[in-house]
Each structure stands twice: as structure tokens, then as C-alpha cells.
Amino acid sequence: MTASPPQNNGTDVQYRTPTPADAIAVWQMVANEPMLDDNSSYHYTLWFRDFAETSMVANVGDELVGFMTGYRRPCKPDTFFIWQAAVKPGSGISGLGVDILANAIDFQLTTGAKYVETTISEQNKAVTMLLHMIAKKYDADIATELLFAAEALPDGDHDEVLYRLGPLNPRT
């Protein structure tokens, strides 16, 4: 999957499906972002082998400046679940987080997705705002519910609230 790159602050951003070769840069980005759950470098390498078509990276030249990982839910194939996303701090590219998600969602819409789901902590106001921006772009409703209480996760430090956006309409 390759999406057309928008112009951001005079910088050409290329959005594309990841390859296993992108795993180390993503793993390092996650390690430097305290809000994200750590995964092993092997996790990202395997993810980008098996779930590349439902994930995306953003590059400026040879530098990876953002990513998102996701998958289609096996029991609900019309639902695209966003697992993790991040933008490199100091990239200086306005709207990069929204653009990565929008490019990935656009592709998933062409393959039958109608809904987007993700879980976040209610304290994460930045991601909550991002999801509302995405919902507006796709003229979609947002429903929330507690998916997993912190007590249900041995290493959980917060509740995982499910955000479900949809049905999605193609953005204009």
C-alpha cells in the first residue's frame, strides 16, 4: 500500500506499508515514548512481516518519522483495530499523526472496513482529541465502553477504554 504524500510544512512525507527492515526504527521510537507500551524488536519485525497491509509508516527521505500498527479483527472483518501509533518528537510536521491514521484508514475502507477501534486510557487527552478529529474527517460516530479494567491486566496501570468509530464514510 502506498498513499499519495501530502505536503506538510514544505516537507514531502511518504506513507507506505512497513517492511521488517523498519522494525528497529519503530522499536527505538517506542522505547523513547513513555506513553507507549514496550514491545520487543522481534515483535515489530514479525508484525511488519505478517500485518504490513494493516500498518503504515511515514518517512521523510530516509528517516522514519511516524508509524501505526493495526489489524482487522478476525471475528469482525469490517473492523480495523489500531494497536499502536506514534510520531517522532520534533519532526515539525503538522498533522502527521492524523495523516498516518487517515492514510491507513483510507486503504482499509477500500478493502471493506467500516469501523475503527482502539483502546486508550481516559487520561490520554491528546489521543482522545485525535480520535475526534478522525471521526469528523469520516463523518463517523464515536462510542466508548470499558474493555478491560486495570485490575484485569497484571501489568495494567489504567483502564483500557474501547473507542469505536463508525460507520466510516470516505473522506472528501
Give the model confidence (pLDDT) of 119-137 as tens digits. 998 888 888 999 999 999 9
Burial label for 94, CB within 10 Å (0-12, 13-18, 19+), is: exposed
How crowded is residue 122: how many other Cβ atoms within 10 Å of its Cβ?
12
* Ordered domains of the chain (ranges, CATH): 2-166 (3.40.630.30)
Percent of the chain at pLDDT exceeding 70: 92
pLDDT at 172: 67
Q: Which of 133, 132, 142, 134 is nearest to 166 (CA)?
A: 142
Q: What is the mean pLDDT of the chain?
A: 90
pLDDT at 24: 97
pLDDT band at 7 (very low <50, low <70, confident <90, very high): very low
The answer to whether 60 and 41 have CB atoms below 8 angstroms apart is no
Q: Which three cell numbers stand for residue 123?
A: 487520561
Q: Which three cell numbers stand for residue 158?
A: 489504567
pTM: 0.88
The answer to whether 2 and 16 have CB atoms below 8 angstroms apart is yes
- Those residues with Cβ within 8 angstroms of residue 42's Cβ, 6 or more apart along the chain or in another chain: none
In the predicted model, is pLDDT for residue 72 greater than 70? yes
Q: Which of 149, 130, 148 is nearest to 138 (CA)?
A: 130
pLDDT band at 8 (very low <50, low <70, confident <90, very high): very low
